Amino acid sequence: MPHIDYPVNSAESLPPGSLPPLRQAVSRTDRVREALRQAILEGALPPGKALVERELAEMYGVSKTPVREALKQLHSTGLVEINAYQGVSVRRPDNLLVQELYAARCAAEPEAVRLGAVRLGATAHAAARQALQDATTLIGSGETRGLGIANRRFHRELYSACGNSFLCGFLDQLQDLTAFVAGLGWRLRATWEEEAAEHAAILEAMEQGDGPLVERLTRAHIEKARQTISRALGDGR
């Protein structure tokens, strides 16, 4: 086969960055998954609620296939349970889930925010502050259905500052389940204002670039949340 020299600087060459990035199409599965995800996180679909493919397909005006795929994806996040005999339902959190979930967060998140504070130093974190403000506004208005999502945004802005894709990927996998469990805990015992004050202290330490302090505050915040939710679910640990 003859060697071919492709032109590098010809008039037909495209300079780097001249092409726009491809936009990922939003499929029916994506739309169904996001609608169900939001309904679960906001409490519109409570724990134990049966998720029947046929009913959901009729509700969203799609076939059962995208519904089935959406439920599989939600199962991978831990938000739904699949039982061979009873079908699919919204997960019922128990204390074992709470203990394991918060232990996993405690093992990774304090270190991630510490690394972020050290990496960026003393600097403003506008997106985290905006998430904190959004949460405060929701608390003040009494409309707390979206509070879990706002709080997850806050936490993600801080731990993603570490720049470590492995740590961020691991913690991202826990995001939805954490918001779900926290939302259930709040419905049993409202601790929004206490957590908002803890978030404010964590953000202040982060913006000061104080790695050790932000690590301690984050660890204490996660551990306190674990204990509060455990008590709300009926376990004194």
Residue-wise DSSP of 100-132 = HHHHHHHHHHHHHHHHHHHHH-S---HHHHHHH
Q: Which CATH number belongs to the domain containing residue 197 in this structure?
A: 1.20.120.530
Which of 42, 174, 60, 190 has the alpha carbon at shortest distance from 108? 174
pTM: 0.79
For residue 209, tell me if it sits in a domain. Answer: yes
Per-residue model confidence as pLDDT tens digits over 42-98? 888 999 999 999 999 999 999 999 999 999 999 999 999 988 777 899 999 899 999
- Check whether residue 160 and residue 70 sit in a common domain: no
pLDDT higher than 90, residue 105: yes
Q: Which CATH number belongs to the domain containing residue 45 in this structure?
A: 1.10.10.10
The CB density around residue 203, as the number of other CB atoms within 10 Å, is: 21
For residue 2, tell me if it sits in a domain. Answer: no
Per-residue model confidence as pLDDT tens digits over 205-227? 999 999 999 999 999 999 999 99
For residue 36, tell me if it sits in a domain. Answer: yes
pLDDT band at residue 10 under the 50/70/90 scheme: very low
- Check whether residue 84 and residue 110 sit in a common domain: no
- Check whether residue 103 and residue 77 sit in a common domain: no
C-alpha pair distances (Å), 210 with each of 11, 112, 200, 228 = 53, 13, 14, 27
3-state SS assignment for residue 3: coil
For residue 40, tell me if it sits in a domain. Answer: yes
Exposed / middle / buried, residue 140 (Cβ in 10 Å: 0-12, 13-18, 19+): exposed
- Check whether residue 109 and residue 195 sit in a common domain: yes
